[in-house]
Amino acid sequence: MNNAATSWPKPDCVAEAVGRAISGLPGSANRSGVDRRDVFLETRRALAKGLGVPQPEDIALGCNATWGLNLAIQGFPFGERAVVLTTCAEHNSVIRPLHKLEKAGRIRAVYLDTDAWGRVPVGEWEKAVSRYRPELCIFSHASNVTGAVNDARRLTGIAKAAGAAVLIDASQTLGWTEIHAGQWGADMVAFTGHKYLLGPQGTGGLYVRRGLTLNPLLAGGTGIHSDMDEMPEAMPLRLEAGTGNEPSFSGLLAALCWAEENPLDRAVCEARLNRLKNGLAEAGARVIAPEGECTPVVSFTVPGYTADEVGYILTESYDMICRSGLHCAPRIFRGLGCPATVRLSLSRFTADWEIDAAVSAVGDIAGG
Protein backbone atom coordinates (compact mmCIF):
# COMPACT_ATOMS: atom_id res chain seq x y z
CA MET A 1 0.00 0.00 0.00
CA ASN A 2 2.94 2.32 -0.61
CA ASN A 3 3.33 2.31 -4.39
CA ALA A 4 3.68 6.10 -4.61
CA ALA A 5 7.00 5.59 -2.81
CA THR A 6 8.09 2.61 -4.88
CA SER A 7 5.98 0.08 -6.75
CA TRP A 8 5.68 -3.51 -5.64
CA PRO A 9 5.45 -6.12 -6.91
CA LYS A 10 7.29 -5.67 -10.19
CA PRO A 11 6.60 -7.80 -13.27
CA ASP A 12 8.75 -10.94 -13.15
CA CYS A 13 10.64 -9.86 -16.25
CA VAL A 14 12.19 -6.93 -14.36
CA ALA A 15 14.21 -9.04 -11.93
CA GLU A 16 15.08 -11.45 -14.73
CA ALA A 17 16.48 -8.60 -16.86
CA VAL A 18 18.48 -7.19 -13.95
CA GLY A 19 19.89 -10.65 -13.25
CA ARG A 20 20.92 -11.22 -16.86
CA ALA A 21 22.65 -7.83 -16.98
CA ILE A 22 24.59 -8.55 -13.79
CA SER A 23 25.60 -12.08 -14.73
CA GLY A 24 26.40 -11.36 -18.38
CA LEU A 25 29.29 -9.49 -19.94
CA PRO A 26 29.08 -5.75 -19.31
CA GLY A 27 27.97 -3.92 -22.44
CA SER A 28 27.59 -0.31 -21.38
CA ALA A 29 27.57 1.90 -24.47
CA ASN A 30 30.88 3.49 -25.53
CA ARG A 31 32.84 2.01 -22.62
CA SER A 32 33.46 -1.73 -22.87
CA GLY A 33 33.96 -2.51 -26.53
CA VAL A 34 31.47 -5.38 -26.21
CA ASP A 35 29.17 -5.46 -29.23
CA ARG A 36 25.66 -5.90 -27.84
CA ARG A 37 22.40 -4.00 -27.54
CA ASP A 38 22.50 -0.46 -26.21
CA VAL A 39 20.14 -0.67 -23.23
CA PHE A 40 20.31 3.06 -22.62
CA LEU A 41 19.34 3.97 -26.17
CA GLU A 42 16.45 1.50 -26.19
CA THR A 43 15.27 2.81 -22.82
CA ARG A 44 15.40 6.38 -24.12
CA ARG A 45 13.30 5.41 -27.12
CA ALA A 46 10.66 3.79 -24.94
CA LEU A 47 10.64 6.73 -22.52
CA ALA A 48 10.28 9.21 -25.39
CA LYS A 49 7.00 7.55 -26.32
CA GLY A 50 5.74 7.77 -22.75
CA LEU A 51 6.79 11.41 -22.39
CA GLY A 52 5.41 12.41 -25.75
CA VAL A 53 8.67 13.84 -27.09
CA PRO A 54 10.17 13.21 -30.55
CA GLN A 55 13.89 12.90 -29.84
CA PRO A 56 15.13 10.13 -27.47
CA GLU A 57 18.55 11.78 -27.18
CA ASP A 58 16.93 14.75 -25.42
CA ILE A 59 16.44 12.48 -22.40
CA ALA A 60 19.32 12.27 -19.92
CA LEU A 61 19.28 9.15 -17.74
CA GLY A 62 20.28 9.17 -14.08
CA CYS A 63 19.64 7.59 -10.72
CA ASN A 64 16.22 9.07 -9.82
CA ALA A 65 13.88 12.05 -10.17
CA THR A 66 15.80 13.92 -7.47
CA TRP A 67 18.85 13.78 -9.73
CA GLY A 68 16.78 15.12 -12.62
CA LEU A 69 15.20 17.92 -10.61
CA ASN A 70 18.53 19.04 -9.18
CA LEU A 71 20.06 18.99 -12.64
CA ALA A 72 17.19 21.05 -14.04
CA ILE A 73 17.15 23.61 -11.21
CA GLN A 74 20.82 23.99 -10.39
CA GLY A 75 21.90 23.68 -14.01
CA PHE A 76 19.39 26.21 -15.39
CA PRO A 77 21.03 29.32 -16.95
CA PHE A 78 19.41 31.92 -14.69
CA GLY A 79 19.92 35.62 -15.26
CA GLU A 80 20.52 38.09 -12.46
CA ARG A 81 17.79 38.42 -9.80
CA ALA A 82 15.79 35.64 -11.43
CA VAL A 83 12.41 34.66 -10.00
CA VAL A 84 11.31 31.02 -9.84
CA LEU A 85 7.60 30.40 -9.44
CA THR A 86 6.61 27.07 -7.92
CA THR A 87 3.89 25.65 -5.68
CA CYS A 88 3.37 24.55 -2.11
CA ALA A 89 2.71 20.99 -3.32
CA GLU A 90 6.31 20.42 -4.33
CA HIS A 91 8.60 17.72 -3.04
CA ASN A 92 11.77 18.53 -1.12
CA SER A 93 13.64 17.60 -4.28
CA VAL A 94 12.40 20.95 -5.59
CA ILE A 95 12.26 22.94 -2.35
CA ARG A 96 15.81 22.21 -1.21
CA PRO A 97 17.63 22.99 -4.48
CA LEU A 98 15.64 26.23 -4.70
CA HIS A 99 16.56 27.08 -1.11
CA LYS A 100 20.21 26.42 -1.91
CA LEU A 101 20.15 28.82 -4.85
CA GLU A 102 18.14 31.41 -2.94
CA LYS A 103 20.55 31.26 -0.01
CA ALA A 104 23.40 31.88 -2.43
CA GLY A 105 21.60 34.95 -3.76
CA ARG A 106 21.10 33.53 -7.25
CA ILE A 107 17.30 33.44 -7.35
CA ARG A 108 14.12 34.40 -5.58
CA ALA A 109 11.66 31.53 -5.06
CA VAL A 110 7.92 32.25 -4.91
CA TYR A 111 5.56 29.54 -3.63
CA LEU A 112 1.93 29.54 -4.77
CA ASP A 113 -0.62 28.05 -2.36
CA THR A 114 -2.50 25.00 -3.57
CA ASP A 115 -6.18 24.34 -2.88
CA ALA A 116 -7.78 22.02 -0.34
CA TRP A 117 -7.04 19.06 -2.60
CA GLY A 118 -3.40 19.93 -3.28
CA ARG A 119 -4.09 21.11 -6.82
CA VAL A 120 -2.69 24.29 -8.39
CA PRO A 121 -5.50 26.85 -8.97
CA VAL A 122 -5.17 27.87 -12.62
CA GLY A 123 -6.48 31.39 -12.04
CA GLU A 124 -4.05 32.04 -9.19
CA TRP A 125 -1.21 30.60 -11.25
CA GLU A 126 -2.02 33.01 -14.06
CA LYS A 127 -2.03 35.96 -11.65
CA ALA A 128 1.29 34.91 -10.12
CA VAL A 129 2.96 34.49 -13.52
CA SER A 130 1.77 37.95 -14.51
CA ARG A 131 2.86 39.52 -11.23
CA TYR A 132 6.30 37.96 -10.73
CA ARG A 133 7.41 37.42 -14.36
CA PRO A 134 9.43 34.29 -13.48
CA GLU A 135 12.28 32.93 -15.55
CA LEU A 136 11.38 29.39 -14.52
CA CYS A 137 8.10 27.84 -13.40
CA ILE A 138 8.03 24.48 -11.62
CA PHE A 139 5.07 22.29 -10.73
CA SER A 140 4.29 18.66 -9.99
CA HIS A 141 2.08 16.96 -12.53
CA ALA A 142 0.36 15.28 -9.59
CA SER A 143 0.61 15.67 -5.84
CA ASN A 144 2.36 12.80 -4.10
CA VAL A 145 0.23 13.56 -1.01
CA THR A 146 -3.32 13.72 -2.43
CA GLY A 147 -3.00 12.29 -5.94
CA ALA A 148 -4.60 15.37 -7.51
CA VAL A 149 -3.44 15.75 -11.12
CA ASN A 150 -2.80 19.27 -12.37
CA ASP A 151 -3.82 20.64 -15.76
CA ALA A 152 -0.28 20.55 -17.12
CA ARG A 153 -1.24 21.83 -20.55
CA ARG A 154 -2.89 24.99 -19.18
CA LEU A 155 -0.28 25.69 -16.52
CA THR A 156 2.52 25.26 -19.05
CA GLY A 157 0.76 27.38 -21.65
CA ILE A 158 0.26 30.26 -19.22
CA ALA A 159 3.92 30.22 -18.19
CA LYS A 160 5.24 29.93 -21.75
CA ALA A 161 3.03 32.80 -22.94
CA ALA A 162 4.76 35.00 -20.35
CA GLY A 163 8.22 33.95 -21.52
CA ALA A 164 9.03 31.54 -18.68
CA ALA A 165 10.63 28.14 -19.00
CA VAL A 166 8.71 25.23 -17.47
CA LEU A 167 9.92 22.26 -15.42
CA ILE A 168 7.39 19.52 -14.66
CA ASP A 169 7.91 16.89 -11.98
CA ALA A 170 6.30 13.77 -13.43
CA SER A 171 7.47 11.40 -10.70
CA GLN A 172 3.92 10.46 -9.76
CA THR A 173 2.38 10.31 -13.24
CA LEU A 174 4.72 8.78 -15.80
CA GLY A 175 3.44 5.26 -16.30
CA TRP A 176 0.03 6.06 -14.83
CA THR A 177 -1.46 8.86 -16.91
CA GLU A 178 -0.72 10.26 -20.33
CA ILE A 179 2.03 12.85 -20.70
CA HIS A 180 2.42 15.03 -23.78
CA ALA A 181 5.45 17.12 -22.93
CA GLY A 182 6.06 18.07 -26.55
CA GLN A 183 2.49 19.24 -27.17
CA TRP A 184 2.39 21.09 -23.87
CA GLY A 185 5.60 22.94 -24.65
CA ALA A 186 7.38 21.82 -21.49
CA ASP A 187 11.06 22.71 -21.39
CA MET A 188 12.04 20.02 -18.90
CA VAL A 189 10.36 16.96 -17.36
CA ALA A 190 11.89 15.04 -14.49
CA PHE A 191 10.81 11.46 -13.81
CA THR A 192 11.64 8.31 -11.92
CA GLY A 193 11.57 4.71 -13.07
CA HIS A 194 10.69 2.84 -9.89
CA LYS A 195 7.13 4.05 -9.24
CA TYR A 196 4.40 3.60 -11.86
CA LEU A 197 6.85 2.67 -14.59
CA LEU A 198 7.41 -0.47 -12.47
CA GLY A 199 11.18 -0.44 -12.90
CA PRO A 200 13.95 -0.87 -10.33
CA GLN A 201 15.11 1.78 -7.93
CA GLY A 202 18.14 3.71 -9.12
CA THR A 203 16.53 4.74 -12.42
CA GLY A 204 15.19 8.10 -13.53
CA GLY A 205 16.01 11.00 -15.74
CA LEU A 206 15.34 14.40 -17.23
CA TYR A 207 13.92 15.44 -20.58
CA VAL A 208 15.38 18.73 -21.83
CA ARG A 209 13.83 20.61 -24.72
CA ARG A 210 16.11 20.98 -27.70
CA GLY A 211 17.70 24.42 -27.67
CA LEU A 212 17.85 24.70 -23.88
CA THR A 213 21.37 24.13 -22.59
CA LEU A 214 21.86 23.21 -18.94
CA ASN A 215 25.10 23.46 -17.01
CA PRO A 216 26.13 19.94 -15.97
CA LEU A 217 26.25 19.17 -12.25
CA LEU A 218 28.86 16.47 -12.79
CA ALA A 219 31.85 16.30 -15.10
CA GLY A 220 33.65 13.13 -16.00
CA GLY A 221 33.89 10.28 -18.43
CA THR A 222 31.50 9.86 -21.34
CA GLY A 223 33.28 7.08 -23.20
CA ILE A 224 33.77 9.26 -26.30
CA HIS A 225 35.28 12.71 -26.95
CA SER A 226 37.80 11.87 -24.23
CA ASP A 227 40.23 14.47 -25.56
CA MET A 228 37.91 17.31 -24.46
CA ASP A 229 38.54 19.13 -21.17
CA GLU A 230 34.85 20.01 -20.83
CA MET A 231 31.69 17.97 -21.12
CA PRO A 232 30.47 17.66 -24.73
CA GLU A 233 27.71 19.97 -25.89
CA ALA A 234 25.61 17.21 -27.44
CA MET A 235 22.81 15.58 -25.48
CA PRO A 236 22.61 13.34 -23.62
CA LEU A 237 26.38 13.13 -23.11
CA ARG A 238 26.48 16.66 -21.71
CA LEU A 239 24.48 15.63 -18.65
CA GLU A 240 25.58 12.02 -18.18
CA ALA A 241 28.99 11.76 -16.56
CA GLY A 242 30.26 8.37 -15.50
CA THR A 243 29.15 4.79 -15.99
CA GLY A 244 25.40 4.26 -16.24
CA ASN A 245 23.46 1.78 -14.15
CA GLU A 246 23.12 -0.86 -16.84
CA PRO A 247 21.50 -3.59 -14.68
CA SER A 248 18.79 -1.29 -13.34
CA PHE A 249 18.06 0.27 -16.72
CA SER A 250 17.85 -3.22 -18.19
CA GLY A 251 15.13 -3.82 -15.63
CA LEU A 252 13.40 -0.56 -16.49
CA LEU A 253 13.48 -1.38 -20.19
CA ALA A 254 11.91 -4.76 -19.44
CA ALA A 255 9.19 -3.03 -17.42
CA LEU A 256 8.48 -0.55 -20.22
CA CYS A 257 8.19 -3.37 -22.76
CA TRP A 258 5.93 -5.33 -20.38
CA ALA A 259 3.66 -2.31 -19.85
CA GLU A 260 3.30 -1.80 -23.60
CA GLU A 261 2.18 -5.40 -23.96
CA ASN A 262 -0.07 -5.21 -20.87
CA PRO A 263 -1.93 -1.88 -20.99
CA LEU A 264 -3.21 -0.45 -17.73
CA ASP A 265 -6.92 -1.15 -17.14
CA ARG A 266 -7.81 2.30 -15.86
CA ALA A 267 -11.45 1.48 -15.17
CA VAL A 268 -10.52 -1.35 -12.81
CA CYS A 269 -7.90 0.76 -11.06
CA GLU A 270 -10.24 3.72 -10.61
CA ALA A 271 -12.94 1.44 -9.23
CA ARG A 272 -10.53 0.11 -6.62
CA LEU A 273 -9.37 3.62 -5.77
CA ASN A 274 -12.97 4.73 -5.20
CA ARG A 275 -13.62 1.59 -3.18
CA LEU A 276 -10.73 2.53 -0.90
CA LYS A 277 -11.74 6.19 -0.55
CA ASN A 278 -15.37 5.39 0.18
CA GLY A 279 -14.47 2.56 2.52
CA LEU A 280 -12.09 4.67 4.56
CA ALA A 281 -14.67 7.44 4.90
CA GLU A 282 -17.31 4.96 6.05
CA ALA A 283 -14.80 3.51 8.53
CA GLY A 284 -14.49 6.90 10.23
CA ALA A 285 -11.43 8.42 8.57
CA ARG A 286 -11.21 11.97 7.23
CA VAL A 287 -10.33 11.33 3.61
CA ILE A 288 -8.83 13.89 1.25
CA ALA A 289 -10.70 12.96 -1.91
CA PRO A 290 -9.99 15.36 -4.79
CA GLU A 291 -12.47 15.65 -7.61
CA GLY A 292 -11.23 15.22 -11.14
CA GLU A 293 -8.27 13.22 -12.37
CA CYS A 294 -6.17 11.57 -9.66
CA THR A 295 -3.36 9.09 -9.29
CA PRO A 296 -4.10 6.04 -7.08
CA VAL A 297 -3.14 7.87 -3.87
CA VAL A 298 -5.34 8.35 -0.80
CA SER A 299 -4.38 10.55 2.15
CA PHE A 300 -6.41 10.50 5.33
CA THR A 301 -6.41 11.17 9.06
CA VAL A 302 -8.19 9.43 11.91
CA PRO A 303 -9.78 11.62 14.61
CA GLY A 304 -8.05 11.27 17.96
CA TYR A 305 -4.78 9.99 16.50
CA THR A 306 -1.74 11.55 14.91
CA ALA A 307 -0.78 10.38 11.44
CA ASP A 308 2.35 8.74 12.81
CA GLU A 309 0.32 6.82 15.39
CA VAL A 310 -2.05 5.48 12.73
CA GLY A 311 0.84 4.55 10.45
CA TYR A 312 2.62 2.75 13.29
CA ILE A 313 -0.48 0.75 14.20
CA LEU A 314 -1.17 -0.23 10.59
CA THR A 315 2.41 -1.40 10.16
CA GLU A 316 2.98 -3.13 13.49
CA SER A 317 -0.48 -4.63 14.08
CA TYR A 318 -1.76 -5.19 10.54
CA ASP A 319 1.45 -5.81 8.53
CA MET A 320 0.51 -2.99 6.17
CA ILE A 321 3.23 -1.06 4.36
CA CYS A 322 2.04 2.54 4.20
CA ARG A 323 3.41 6.05 4.65
CA SER A 324 2.66 8.63 7.33
CA GLY A 325 3.90 12.15 7.98
CA LEU A 326 4.78 14.96 5.58
CA HIS A 327 5.65 12.78 2.56
CA CYS A 328 8.61 15.09 1.75
CA ALA A 329 6.13 17.80 0.71
CA PRO A 330 5.85 19.89 3.90
CA ARG A 331 4.33 23.07 2.46
CA ILE A 332 1.17 21.45 1.10
CA PHE A 333 -0.41 20.85 4.49
CA ARG A 334 -1.34 24.46 5.09
CA GLY A 335 -3.89 24.16 2.28
CA LEU A 336 -5.03 20.69 3.32
CA GLY A 337 -5.96 21.84 6.82
CA CYS A 338 -4.07 19.13 8.72
CA PRO A 339 -0.51 18.76 10.05
CA ALA A 340 0.21 15.41 8.37
CA THR A 341 -1.56 12.43 6.81
CA VAL A 342 -1.45 8.69 6.39
CA ARG A 343 -1.05 7.77 2.75
CA LEU A 344 -2.10 4.58 1.01
CA SER A 345 -1.18 4.20 -2.65
CA LEU A 346 -2.27 1.45 -5.00
CA SER A 347 -0.78 -0.18 -8.06
CA ARG A 348 -2.25 -2.09 -10.97
CA PHE A 349 -1.56 -5.25 -8.93
CA THR A 350 -3.51 -4.22 -5.80
CA ALA A 351 -6.32 -6.67 -5.09
CA ASP A 352 -9.80 -6.06 -3.69
CA TRP A 353 -9.02 -8.09 -0.58
CA GLU A 354 -6.09 -5.79 0.21
CA ILE A 355 -8.34 -2.75 0.00
CA ASP A 356 -10.92 -4.41 2.22
CA ALA A 357 -8.21 -5.33 4.74
CA ALA A 358 -6.99 -1.72 4.82
CA VAL A 359 -10.50 -0.39 5.35
CA SER A 360 -11.14 -2.92 8.12
CA ALA A 361 -7.88 -2.01 9.88
CA VAL A 362 -8.64 1.72 9.79
CA GLY A 363 -12.13 0.96 11.03
CA ASP A 364 -10.64 -0.88 14.00
CA ILE A 365 -8.49 2.14 14.84
CA ALA A 366 -11.25 4.69 14.37
CA GLY A 367 -13.65 2.64 16.44
CA GLY A 368 -11.15 1.94 19.20
Segment 237-276, tens digit of pLDDT: 889 888 899 999 999 999 999 999 999 999 999 999 999 9
CATH T-level assignment (fold) for domain 266-366: Aspartate Aminotransferase, domain 1 (3.90.1150)
Three-class DSSP category at 168: strand
What CATH number has the domain spanning 12-261? 3.40.640.10
Give CATH 3.40.640.10 domain extents, the chain: 12-261
> DSSP string of 229-242?
SS--SSTTGGG--S
Q: Per-residue pLDDT averaged across 332-341, rounded?
A: 96
Q: What is the tens place of the pLDDT at every residue in 282-304?
A: 999 999 999 999 999 999 999 99
Give CATH 3.90.1150.10 domain extents, the chain: 266-366
Q: Kindly report the pTM of this predicted structure.
A: 0.95
> DSSP string of 187-201?
SEEEEESSSTT---S
pLDDT at 36 over 70: no
H or E element in which residue 61 lies:
strand 59-62
Tell me if 60 sits within 8 A of 195, measured CB to CB: no
Q: Which residues pair with 325 in a beta bridge?
A: 341
